C-alpha cells in the first residue's frame, strides 16, 4: 500500500468531478492510497453523480477499508455490494479478504480462493490474492513459483511481470529479473521506464557485457524521454564504467567518456532549468546516485 499523496484538508477542496477522476486514475494505475480513498468517500457527497461507476468505487472503498481495518466501513460496503451483486465472485473475494486476510488467517483465505479457482480457472484476481497471501507471509520462493505459473496463463499481465522482476531482484537473481523486464519491453517497446529498469538491472549485474547493455538501454530510455534524470545518471555511470574496463580500447574509451560528459552536461542543464537551490540539487544528485543500482532491498 503506497503512501497517500494528500491530506484530508486537500480532499475537502476537491470538486466531485475531480474526486471521481482521481479515484478512476488510481483504479487504472492499480494504486491503493487507502486513507485518501476513504476520506474522499466519507467527505464527498457524490449523490447520483457516479452513476454505474458507483459500484467500482464502492469496491475500491471496501479494499481501502480492509487496508485500514475499518470494520464499520467494510460492513457498509459489503452490504451494498452484496445487495446489488448477489453471488458475485468479486464480492465473494472481498468477503474473504475481510473475513480471513484482515485477521491474518492466511491459510483459510488461501483455501477459500482455491475453492473459487476450481469453479472459475479464468479469474486472474483469485490467483493474485493467493500470491498476495504468500508475499504477506514472506514465502518468497512459493510466491515466485505461483507467479511463474500465473504468467503461463495470463502472459499479458504487465503488473505480474513487474512483481516477478522485483521478487527476483530481492532474491538477487538478476538475470531472471532482466528476463521479466525483457518481456515487458517486447510488449511495450515505447515505455521508457521499462528500458530504464532493464538498464539498471544490467548495471547491477556488472559484467563487461551487462555494462554495455546498461549503457545501451539507458540511452534508449533517454531517446523515449530525454528528461528522464535517472536514465541520465545511469548513462553517466554506465558509460564511465565501460570506459574503465581493462579491455576497453582507446577509441571505445574516448567514445564512452564523451557519452558520460554529454550526460553530465544534460544533468546540469536540467537542474539549472528546474532548480536554483544548489543545496537541494546536491541532495537530489546524491540520492539519485545512491538509488540507481538495483539492490536486494528493492521491492
What digits encode the pLDDT tens for the residues 183-199? 999 999 999 999 999 99
Please tell me the least confidently modeled range out of 9-13, 93-97, 240-244, 281-285.
Answer: 281-285
pLDDT category at 41 given cuts 50, 70, 90 is very high
In this predicted structure, what is the pLDDT of residue 299?
32
pLDDT tens by residue, 135-163: 999 999 999 999 999 999 999 999 999 99
Mean of pLDDT values over 79-97: 92
Cβ contacts of 198 within 8 Å, gap of 6 or more: 178, 181, 182, 185, 213, 217
Alpha carbon distance 104, 145 (integer Å): 22
Please tell me the least confidently modeled range out of 3-7, 121-125, 152-156, 220-224.
Answer: 3-7
Q: Tell if the pTM clears 0.85, that is, is over it.
A: no
Residue written as cell 564512452? 256
Amino acid at each position: 500500500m503506497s503512501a497517500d499523496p494528500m491530506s484530508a484538508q486537500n480532499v475537502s477542496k476537491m470538486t466531485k468531478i475531480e474526486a471521481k477522476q482521481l479515484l478512476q486514475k488510481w483504479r487504472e494505475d492499480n494504486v491503493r492510497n487507502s486513507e485518501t480513498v476513504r476520506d474522499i468517500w466519507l467527505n464527498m457527497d457524490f449523490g447520483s453523480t457516479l452513476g454505474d461507476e458507483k459500484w467500482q468505487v464502492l469496491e475500491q472503498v471496501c479494499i481501502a477499508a480492509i487496508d485500514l481495518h475499518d470494520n464499520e466501513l467494510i460492513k457498509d460496503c459489503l452490504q451494498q455490494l452484496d445487495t446489488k451483486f448477489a453471488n458475485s465472485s468479486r464480492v465473494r473475494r472481498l468477503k474473504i479478504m475481510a473475513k480471513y486476510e484482515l485477521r491474518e488467517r492466511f491459510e483459510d483465505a488461501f483455501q477459500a480462493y482455491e475453492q473459487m479457482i476450481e469453479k472459475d480457472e479464468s479469474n486472474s484476481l483469485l490467483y493474485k490474492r493467493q500470491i498476495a497471501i504468500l508475499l504477506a507471509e514472506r514465502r518468497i520462493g512459493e510466491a515466485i513459483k505461483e507467479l511463474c505459473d500465473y504468467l503461463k496463463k495470463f502472459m499479458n499481465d504487465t503488473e505480474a511481470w513487474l512483481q516477478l522482476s522485483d521478487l527476483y531482484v530481492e532474491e538477487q537473481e538478476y538475470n531472471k529479473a532482466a528476463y521479466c523486464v525483457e518481456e515487458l519491453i517486447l510488449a511495450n517497446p515505447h515505455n521508457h521506464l521499462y528500458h530504464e529498469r532493464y538498464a539498471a538491472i544490467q548495471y547491477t549485474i556488472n559484467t563487461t557485457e551487462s555494462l554495455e547493455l546498461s549503457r545501451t538501454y539507458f540511452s534508449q530510455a533517454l531517446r523515449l524521454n530525454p528528461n528522464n534524470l535517472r536514465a541520465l545518471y545511469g548513462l553517466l555511470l554506465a558509460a564511465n564504467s565501460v570506459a574503465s574496463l581493462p579491455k576497453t580500447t582507446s577509441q571505445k574509451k574516448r567514445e564512452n567518456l564523451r557519452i558520460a560528459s554529454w550526460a553530465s552536461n544534460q544533468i546540469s542543464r536540467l537542474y539549472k532549468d528546474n532548480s536554483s537551490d544548489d543545496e537541494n540539487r546536491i541532495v537530489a544528485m546524491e540520492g539519485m546516485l545512491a538509488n540507481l543500482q538495483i539492490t536486494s532491498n528493492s521491492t
